């Protein structure tokens, strides 16, 4: 489901922060919060190693999604 979004570099993994908080920060252009989360790796751009690992375990992982165009935010549930 995320492959096309991943290919265009738009998928971000949200760690240790509420998914909705990141969505609001992106939607309201709160660059200070977004930069802090990126610096602390609480918000991480999904890269090839992530993608390959998730492909191997696709049936074992569940995510929450939030779309804030042009981005897709995901958060691992298990």
Q: Is the pLDDT of residue 76 over 70?
A: yes
Tell me if the pTM is above 0.85. Answer: no
Q: With 0-12 CB in 10 A as exposed, 13-18 as middle and 19+ as buried, what is 51?
A: middle
Question: In this predicted model, what pLDDT tens digit does every residue of 9-55 receive, in sequence order?
Answer: 899 999 999 999 999 999 999 999 999 999 999 999 988 766 667 66
Range of the domain at 26: 3-76
**CB atoms inside a 10 Å sphere around CB 18:** 10
DSSP character string of 49-70:
HHHHHHHHTTTT--EEEEEETT
- Number of domains present in the structure of the chain: 1
**CB atoms inside a 10 Å sphere around CB 70:** 10
Q: Residue 20 and residue 1: Cα distance in Å, rounded?
A: 20
């Amino acid at each position: 489901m995320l492959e096309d979004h991943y290919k265009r570099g738009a998928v971000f993994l949200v760690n240790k922060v509420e998914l909705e908080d990141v969505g609001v920060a992106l939607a309201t252009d709160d660059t200070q919060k977004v930069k802090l989360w990126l610096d602390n790796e609480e918000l991480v751009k999904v890269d090839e190693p992530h993608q390959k690992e998730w492909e191997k375990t696709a049936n074992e992982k569940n995510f929450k999604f939030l779309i804030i165009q042009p981005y897709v935010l995901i958060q691992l549930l298990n």
